[in-house]
Structure 1
Amino acid sequence: MFFEETWLDIVARAAILSLIGVAWVTALIRLIGLRTLSKMTNFDFVVTIASGSLLAGAVQASEWTAFAQALLATGGLFGVQYLVARIRRNSEAFEEAIQNGPIMLMYNGQIVEGALDISRVAESDLFAKLREANVLELSQVRAVVLETTGDISVLHGDTLEDRIIEGIDRP
């Protein structure tokens, strides 16, 4: 691509293609927004993983066409993510079609066994999250929610506003 000497070409490709690839992804993130790297939804998570894979492919390209294809595919992924986010904001039906809902794993100090079964979360994992959130007594727990991102939120304290847990599945 750059030099006849193999070792020199490898070094130049690694440095130059990495620089261009990272600059391209940075420009896309600046243009489209930080949501590009979020994991707010399962779709966002897939785009983040795929963009990393495409960037790796771009910096390892041995031909300009492969390099360009990887960069254009990254731009396409980010563009699709932008469109999906816009549509989700304006269409509840679309939101429900592509997104899993959050699941209540605990409510008012009580473990929701059916939710653990459905979500395949082990009780030991639930207790680990409770310890991580500094819960000292199960009675302190207002709600534990398996979020759409796969994260587990632990809500504890004296009270819990209904609006915070509105729309969460309670199997």
Structure 2
Amino acid sequence: MEWIYKIDDPLLETIFASFLIFLIIIIYTRIIGLRSFAKFTAYDFAFTIAIGSIISSILTSSTTLVHGAIAIASLLGLTFLFSFLQKKSSAISSLLSNKPLLLMDKDQILYDNLKKGRIEKSQLIAKLREANVLNFKQVEAVVLESTGDISVLHTSDKNIKLDKELLEEVRK
């Protein structure tokens, strides 16, 4: 039964470390801001994966709490630095961020863009259903966001027109 529980497992240390790392992440997030856990860019995604890995190492006792806290602070610092650089330089911004991709233009499915975004038609249709689209004619645009999410812009009122600014940065 040692595969279930070992007598020398540090259960109390794990509980205590979980509590402390939870507090540390809350404090860091309050200092740096919620943007640090957003998923806007590839580095945001990498950051989230790295944080999870560090927390796992801390909780399984392969990394000390202090070492893990410093690693998390370093990653948060890098996230802060990259977001600052991204605001200052469009070249860095385009290097770090994917541009959104138009998947549907009004009622027309853009099959070439589905292919570029590696999105199956069935996935697109599922997103339309999630957005309560009843008819393709309700669709103004469907966008594969830089985060990997799919946004469905639709209306039942044909008097409401889509603001062009909503598609400003979107690749056609």
TM-score, structure 1 normalization: 0.88
Aligned residue number for residue 12 of structure 1: 12
Deviation at 1:41, TM superposition (A): 1.9
Which structure shows the higher helix fraction? Answer: 1
**How do 1:1-171 residues align onto structure 2 when only pairs under 5 Å count?**
7=7, 10-61=10-61, 66-157=64-155, 158=158, 159-170=161-172
* Kept in 1: contact 2:145–2:151 (CA 8 A): yes
Code of the aligned partner of 1:46: A
What 5-or-longer segments of structure 2 have no aligned partner? 1-5
CA contact (8 A) 2:106 2:140 kept: yes
1:133 offset after TM fit, Å? 0.4
Please tell me the residue identity of whatever aligns with 1:101: K
In structure 1, the gaps of 5 or more residues are 1-5
Identical positions, percent: 37
Give the TM-score of the pair, scaled to structure 2: 0.88
Cα root mean square deviation, aligned: 1.7
1:106, distance to aligned residue in structure 2 (A): 0.2
Q: Is the 8 A contact 1:141 1:154 kept in 2?
A: yes
Q: Which digits, 9 at most, give the CA deviation of each residue in 1:105-154, with x for residues without a partner?
A: 00011011110111110001000000100111111111000000000000
Moved over 4 A (4+): 6-9
**Number of aligned residue pairs:** 163
